[in-house]
Structure 1
Amino acid sequence: MINLSSISSNLPSTQPQWVKRFAKLGLAAKGVVYCLVGILAFMAAFEIGGSSERNVTKQGVFRFILAQPFGQILLALVAAGLVCYALWRLTQAFLDNEHKGTDAKGIGRRLAYGFSGLVYGSLAYGCFRMVMGSQSSQSGDSSRQTVVREILQKPFGQWLVGLIGVSIIGIGLYQIYRALSGKYLKNVQTSSIKTELKEMIIRSGKIGYIARGIVWGLIGYLFIKAALEANASEAGGSSSAFVFLEKVSYGSFLLGAVALGLFCYGIFMFVRARYEVINTSS
């Protein structure tokens, strides 16, 4: 088992104010990304402005920002925010600011923080590449399909891809559980929110986490489908999930509802940036 406590003992002590600033800037940047994902997905659902659900990815959001006036500056700010978010998550993983401990549950939670940090660090890297004028040759879904194709060629590859799919569905169910149980509000100082806004903000967070859980669940289902059919092209990310929703009965309305939920999730990230208690002591 990875001994995170021994790793953290060799790292320099955390500067509390920097941790708070990184967390708040990171959450705000994440809010921008998810709000734009929601807007673009809603436009794709009802074919507004020629938008397509196949292009609604985080990379698509970055391209959208880049196309706006002062796009390079705006995208660079978003990239910097994502770097802050990644560093905050890595700090939580290695310095255990959240005091999750070193038992199995605590290690699992800290590994999840570390994985999140790596994912958003990768997004920030891609974002900076776009700022510098480099365009990725593969979309997020295409790169996932390439990885799945390689796994399928390994011994027990279908089982591994299926296991990944089940794990992704588990993440989605946990997001929905957090929403319905109210755990998404655990570290948010709701008492500081204006009374007239509190109910609307709390509801937007619940809707947002449910929508995010649905998207994760659909991505997991597509991975399982890829495993069962031994077909990597069935796997994908958020854009593939949106395409799947669009094809079912009343798909435009379902995709539109999920899109509004993702927008709500983005709004709630701004709320977290403003009102969340950021633990800094290790």
Structure 2
Amino acid sequence: MNEKEKVRQVADSADSAAQEAADSRWFERVARAGFIANGLVHAILGATAVTIGLGQGGGEADQAGAVGQIAAQPFGMVLIVICFLGCALMALWCLVNAFFGSASLRGPGTRDPQHRQGRKQWIDFFTMVGSAIAYVVVAATFSQFVFGGGADSGKSSSQASTTLAKAPGGLYILMAVGAVIAIIGIVFCINGLRRKWKEDLRRPRSAITRFLVGFTGVVGYLGKGATLLSVGILIVVSAATGDPEEFTGIDGALKGMRDQPFGPYLLLAVGLGLVLYGIFLALRSRYDRMD
């Protein structure tokens, strides 16, 4: 066997192992913890937004602020480590399935493209990759507390946007990023109203659970979508006015929402939506098909 054949054999073995991992029931079960971790962050973020809407301060209304509140609780760091591992495994599961599993553009157990790729197959692929990126971001937030003692995400967002704005065409890139985030927010709202997420869930046996999943799904998606839309608008406005340092992430977007006409009421609604989205993610950990 020559060197080229050895390399190919090793590559085939690695490929087979990855495909087996994509179909592993234990891998799937452990990765479901990522839904719960992400849901916990959204629930705390939503509760913080509600307190801000009620005029009670509420601290930092962003992911880092939510994780910081978890860290401040008894055994908080243990929970953060578990959440970090859950989100990291969920991100890994999404990537493995995007390239080797059900969302892959090729047939299972083969290097050949699937016979029926089409638009839906590409949408499934990019959706899975996007989910992996989202869970990497949440895992990175937990990792800051696991390895670095936390961070000021508002300051980090401002620094990142300012650095990008200084690059050639940076303000236009920043506006494009904001527009994409705003569009994702609109898509979240549309998918929530159309209940597109039902395609990914098993039907609960209990009528009460079915109602709870449906209610938290619709309202939760609207809350999540409104948050992303406000973040996207803030990025576009800060870039258009030439003040990218004004962008301070989710915290700045939600607090900016509070300062608008009827802002406190809108912020209360968005906060409750985020809390319900967190509950929906916890339910999703039980009923998501993950196939």
Q: Would the TM-score normalized by the shorter structure come out above 0.5? A: yes
Whether the 8 Å contact between 1:100 and 1:109 is mirrored in structure 2 is no
Using the alignment, how far apart are the partners of 1:43 and 1:263 within structure 2? 12
2:128 corresponds to which residue? 113
List aligned pairs for 1:141-180, cutoff 5 A: 141-180=154-193
2:196 corresponds to which residue? 183
- For residue 78 of structure 2, the aligned residue among 73, 91, 95 is 73
SS in structure 1 of the partner of residue 32 of structure 2: helix
* Runs (5+) with no aligned partner, structure 1: 1-5
1:58 corresponds to which residue? 63
Deviation at 1:158, TM superposition (A): 2.0
Q: 1:126 to 1:158 in 2, by over 3 A?
A: closer
Q: Does 1:135 align with 2:130?
A: no
Count of matched residue positions in the alignment of Structure 1 and Structure 2: 267
Pick which of 247-256 and 208-217 moved more: 247-256
SS in structure 2 of the partner of residue 98 of structure 1: coil
Deviation at 1:116, TM superposition (A): 3.5
Percent of aligned pairs with the same amino acid: 24
Q: Which TM-score applies when normalising by structure 1?
A: 0.85
List aligned pairs for 1:1-282, cutoff 5 A: 9=15, 12-15=18-21, 16-48=24-56, 50-52=57-59, 55-99=60-104, 106-107=121-122, 109-132=124-147, 134-137=148-151, 139-190=152-203, 192-279=204-291
* Runs (5+) with no aligned partner, structure 2: 1-11, 107-116
**RMSD over aligned Cα, in angstroms?**
2.4
Q: Which TM-score applies when normalising by structure 2?
A: 0.82
The residue identity in structure 2 corresponding to 1:76 is V
Pick which of 169-178 and 93-102 moved more: 93-102
Using the alignment, how far apart are the partners of 1:180 and 1:37 within structure 2? 22
Using the alignment, how far apart are the partners of 2:82 and 2:20 within structure 1? 24
Deviation at 1:107, TM superposition (A): 4.4
Whether the 8 Å contact between 2:97 and 2:103 is mirrored in structure 1 is yes
Deviation at 1:259, TM superposition (A): 0.5
Structure number with the bigger relative contact order (C-alpha 8 A, sep ≥ 6) is 1
Whether the 8 Å contact between 1:91 and 1:97 is mirrored in structure 2 is no
Whether the 8 Å contact between 1:93 and 1:110 is mirrored in structure 2 is yes
